[in-house]
Amino acid sequence: MSARTSPARDLVYFVIFAAAVLTMPVWLAPIGAGYPDLLQKFAIYGLFATGFNLLFGLTGYLSFGHAAFLGVGSYTAVWSFKLLGMNPIPAVILAVVAAGIFALAIGFVSLRRSGIYFSILTLAFAQMSYNLAYSVLTPITNGETGLRVLRSDPRIFDAADGAEGALVSTLFGIEMNGYAGFYFCAVILIAGFFIAQRIFRSPFGIMLRAVKSNQNRMTYTGLNPRPYTLAAFVISGMYAGLAGSLLCITDPLAGAERMQWTASGEVVLMTILGGAGTLLGPLLGAGLIKYFENIFSAFNEQTLHSIFSFLPDFLETPVVGLMSLFVGEGWQLTLGVLFMIIVIFLPGGIMEGVSRLGRLFKGSDKPSAADKGRVEAAAE
Amino acid sequence: MEILKVSGVNKSFGGLRALNNVNFAVEEGTVHAIIGPNGAGKSTFLNCMIGRLAPDTGTVMFGDISLTGMKPFEINQVGVSRVFQTPEIFADLTLLENVMIPTMAKRDGIFSLNGFRRLDRDAEVRDKALHMLEDVGLAEKKDMHSGSLSRGDKRRLELAMCLSQDPKLLLLDEPTAGMSRADTNNTIDLLKRIGDRGITKVIIEHDMHVVFSLAKKVTVLAQGTIIAEGKPEDIKGDPRVQEAYLGGAHL
């Protein structure tokens, strides 16, 4: 918004981002993350965190119930498969609409309060949705078994095809798993990032930052904060619904555990870890957490022994013993330690680290065009 | 012509009668000060005018619009701006953004969903905001974060924010509270300059120096009742005012 942001710079930034996302299979391969399942997760949870950041990063309202919208998106997508057919496009559209309506209802009630009371209200709504999905709503959600597409489902538009073989979402004959699934998610992520970037730079975006900064001044400036926060809540709920539908497009199964409070907490962690209120931060946070979840949890003592084999035996055993606490089943311990370090030393998340590094290299506080992190921090 | 007319306003908090049948009118284009000792009900009175508190009885008329029962943002939209005792600004945003927000609020109304337009392409809002910052002498700091300004500069910024909306009536709650003498004098000069534009102002103030430099008319409030009203010179010599305000000491 200041002199440092300009349409040209944002375009460059966006093109670099799009290129980086599309080439992820290449540059993530050396660190063992170049396989489609994980790449899909990066894109999907990146989208989820980007949407969450539009609410939390801009307005400062901390929702602890965003997993509910993820779940609604997932169930809607599976129902779209069941009723309309395996094409992902209606699934995506219907999931976004359903999550938006759901967010409108929850937001309308929850936004009557702010601060911790807002967080508790959203948490309560999400847990309520989770428990309903598990019990009362079984006819819609199929309870604890999870909702899946069956051969006997009507699938109006493609009931004739796919009489045999696994039921996967198919876009114009391309099955939405593996790399095709990743590229579908990647394109939607890039579109989602573009919209988020526009919102950050728009009059609407600055009003959301005004909500975070001083609601009292806003009220006496002739602005009603409530519709602004509600709009932000609905938009971020739609992002979550979109992410939920992508989870089902790459794997057509929706379970209630997707709505549990731990899932809501995860997106909060992603956003804070990466840097709330920055465009790129939540994506980095989502990537980091999903990486730890998938790569670190796969480490076992065998791997550790081979890594530390250069140590003498009397050292190797205790070192491996200690390190094994932090990998495999214990990967969350590593994540916890990392989270604490970042929150204590870099309250602005990874993006603050990036911008500090940028300033260090520049040796001055002048922003440079090449330095993405600095530009991003300045845009806050 | 009377731009603001308050008739028969009462307000009680539990057993405490904060305002007792207050009648008050402000002439268009003048500077009107409200003074009174601590606890006289000045802030309660202001809050009743601006919609933060609802008076128990009585009406507040702004021209032919009744402000009673309106929300603060609706009152602002009809042309009433307010400066707070402690400057209320958007501390996380730059000075320019701080002034652009009220400018847009004036143009686009209480809520507008401009999610896809670029703010930095909106030359109209930007120019107006820059012009306002120049007016209060803060133009060269436009890209600074407003939270790091001095108290006096925050006050000037808040004034620029209010003025960017071209208000018909400006309410100032102790605009020089907690300021150094130099900052106070700067603020007085600034307010005098704004006075030339014909914006009606109501000032609540403790500092007699400020009141007598600015106001054309003074209303004295004590224990929720108006005890005197008139030109500053007359008020100065009024024994009732001295009794209530200074406990009998000489002014």
Q: What is the DSSP string of A268-291?
A: HHHHHHH-TTSSSHHHHHHHHHHH
B9: CB partners within 8 A, 6+ apart: B19, B21, B22, B23, B24, B45, B48, B55, B57, B58, B59, B60
Q: How far is CA B35 from CA B27, B62, B65, in A?
A: 17, 21, 26
Backbone phi and psi for residue A111, each to the nearest 5 degrees, phi listed first: -75, 0
d(Cα B142, Cα B153) in Å, to the nearest integer? 12
What percent of chain B has pLDDT above 70? 96
DSSP E strands, chain A: 147-148, 170-171, 174-175, 253-254
Residue B250 has a pLDDT of 47
Report the pLDDT value the prediction gives residue A162, as an integer from 0 to 100.
55
Amino acid B161: pLDDT: 93
Kindly indicate whether the domain formed by B2-246 is annotated with CATH number 1.10.3720.10.
no
Q: Does domain A7-259 have CATH number 1.10.3470?
A: yes
On whether the CB atoms of residues A353 and A281 are closer than 8 A, the answer is no
The two tokens of residue A265 are 């907490």
Contacts of B113 in chain A (CB under 8 A): 204, 231
Contacts of A217 in chain B (CB under 8 A): 88-90, 161
Beta bridge partners of B169: B80, B200
B99 inside 8 A of chain A by CB: no
For A64, the enclosing helix (H) or strand (E) is none
**What pLDDT sits at residue A237?**
96
Q: At A172, which amino acid appears?
A: F
Phi and psi for A288 in degrees, rounded to 5?
-60, -45
| Average pLDDT of span B38-47 | 86
**What ipTM was predicted for this assembly?**
0.89
Domain boundaries, chain B: 2-246
Q: Which residues in B lie closer than 8 A to residue A202 (C-beta atoms)?
A: 114-119
Q: Return the minimum-mean-pLDDT range out of A160-169, B80-89, B170-179.
A: A160-169
- Measure the CA–CA gap between B111 and A254, rounded to whole angstroms: 37
Number of Cβ pairs closer than 8 Å across A and B? 117
CA A158 to each of CA A171, A327, B231, B244: distance values in angstroms, whole numbers, following the listed order? 12, 45, 86, 87
- The residue whose two tokens read 């909106």 is B122
CB contact under 8 A, B97 and A1: yes
- Print pLDDT tens along chain A (380 aa): 444 678 888 999 999 999 999 998 888 888 877 888 899 999 999 999 999 999 999 999 999 999 999 999 999 999 998 888 888 899 999 999 999 999 999 999 999 998 899 999 999 999 999 999 888 888 888 878 888 888 777 777 776 665 555 577 777 777 777 888 899 999 999 999 999 999 999 999 999 999 999 999 999 999 999 999 999 999 999 999 999 999 998 888 888 888 888 889 999 999 999 999 899 999 999 999 998 888 877 777 777 777 777 777 777 777 777 777 777 777 888 888 888 888 888 888 889 888 888 888 876 544 443 444 434 444 44
Q: Is B164 on the interface with A (CB under 8 A)?
A: no
Instruction: For an interface test with A, give the residue of B111, B124, B142 to mutate (most A CBs within 10 A).
Output: B111
Q: Model's pTM, two decimal places?
A: 0.89
DSSP A115-168: HHHHHHHHHHHHHHHHHHHHTTTHHHH-GGG-EE--TTS--TTTSSS-SSS---
- Whether B34 and B45 have beta carbons less than 8 Å apart is answered as yes
Asked if A45 and A290 count as a contact pair (C-beta separation under 8 A), the reply is yes
Torsion of CA B80, B82, B88, B94, to 10 degrees: 50
Indicate the range of B129-143, B148-162, B233-247 predicted with least confidence: B233-247
